[in-house]
Amino acid sequence: MPTKDLQVLVAEDEALVRLMVADVLREQGFHVFEAVDAEEAVAILKAVPVHAVVTDLHMRTVGDGAAVAEYVRAHCPSSSRGGTGRKTGRSWSRT
C-alpha cells in the first residue's frame, strides 16, 4: 500500500514537536491527523480510521497518551495489530 493511502494520528501537546513529527510523516507521503490532547485524539479515532498512532505519553493537557493507547487497543484493531511501544525522552520500550 502506498504511504499516501496510510493515515497516521499524531497526538502531542507541544506544538513544535507535533508539527515536526507531522511534517516528517507528510514528507514521507502519509496523510496525517493532529491532536493536541488525548480527548481530541480519541475524537479523531472515533471519526476516522487510522493505520498508526504516534502519541506523547505525558501530555500536560486533557488526558495522556496512555489513555490514547488504551483506546486504540480496545477500539482500533487495525491500528494496534503491530503492538504498541512507549517512547520517553530517554528510552524506548515495547508494551
The predicted-structure confidence for 33-44, as pLDDT tens digits, reads as follows 999 999 999 999
Residues of the chain with pLDDT under 50: 90-93, 95
Determine contact, residues 45/72, Cβ cutoff 8 Å: yes
Residue 43 contacts by C-beta under 8 Å, 6 or more apart in sequence?
A: 35
Global pTM?
0.78
45-56 pLDDT per residue, tens: 999 989 889 988
Domains and CATH numbers, the chain: 3-83 (3.40.50.2300)
State the pLDDT at residue 78: 61
